[in-house]
Copies of this chain bind each other. A is one copy, B any other.
Amino acid sequence: MQFTRLLQSIQQQHNSLLCIGLDSDPAKLPPSIRSSREPVLEFNRAIIRATSEFTCAYKINLAFYEAMGVKGWDILRETLSLIPSHILTIGDAKRGDIGNTAKQYAKALLEDLGFGATTVNPYMGFDSVEPFLQNEERGAFVLALTSNPGAKDFQHLVSKGRPLYEHVTLKVKQWNRKRNCGLVVGATRPRQLQSIRNILPRVPFLIPGVGAQGGDLRSAVRYGCDATGWLALINASRSIIFASSGRYYASAAEKSAKAMRNQINRIRDSLF
């Protein structure tokens, strides 16, 4: 099944647009588990068990695992094996390199680790993205408009009447032959989110920046979804996984994930 349809079917099956970011920074783990043998893995296990009912996807930022060195790869692999198979896994690696090398990254992420989708950086153009689009069942979310302060440095530069992130959007429209392209669009700029959705009405959007980064949830759902109320992946990381640093951190994460899933659904039901 093509990735876009696959994602929609996962979202419908779980009745959820929520994506949980497993940014399990070792320095931020609850003190109660820091002394265990593999704190990050134990934390991930507890978080996944507590939240998998409410999410349609887990996004794993590879930086936190690479920073642990060799051990990090083992923890990453084991974490992936803990995620129920009917939930999408996104390898948030933001890779971007020339064709030959991009192929190696795609192999590492999609074949060896087995992620269902990845994030990719568009700066080097088509041949750096193409290897991530070979398998129609695996998605590639291309960075368009990000939610960090530095986004303004280049992404908003206007060329031929359009900002750079719209040029990226238009290219993704061309690259989407197998219906497995997605876009990363931050929630911090609702108007731009709307204009990008207008260009690509049926492409999945991965939307960070709600919660800790201050983006507006209502706008993220309104403009992030396609016309039928699907295909937005609203990502939350710290506000869920670090909802509490106490002993009952997992049940706090469960409550936070459930509340956010429900809040998103209420907004969606009122709009679509």
Contacts and interface: CB of A to CB of B under 8 A. Distances in A.
Contacts of A66: 104-105, 108
A212 to B, nearest CB: 10
**For the side of the interface on A, what is the size category?**
35 or more
A70 B78 CA distance: 12
A98 B67 CA distance: 15
B112 A67 contact: yes
A149 interface: yes
Contacts of A150: 98, 124-129
B123 A148 contact: no
A149 to B, nearest CB: 6
Contacts of A38: none
Contacts of A167: 154, 157
Given A96-B96, A101-B63, A122 B154 contact: yes
A151 interface: yes
26 contacts: A25-B104, A61-B101, A63-B97, A63-B101, A63-B105, A67-B108, A69-B77, A69-B108, A70-B77, A94-B95, A94-B124, A96-B121, A98-B146, A98-B150, A121-B123, A123-B146, A125-B148, A125-B150, A126-B153, A127-B149, A129-B150, A154-B168, A157-B159, A157-B160, A159-B159, A159-B164
Contacts of A107: 67
A87 B148 CA distance: 35
A143 interface: yes
Interface in A83-128: 94-102, 104-105, 107-108, 112-113, 121-128
Contacts of A98: 146-148, 150
Contact of A69 (B63, B69, B73): B73
A23 interface: yes
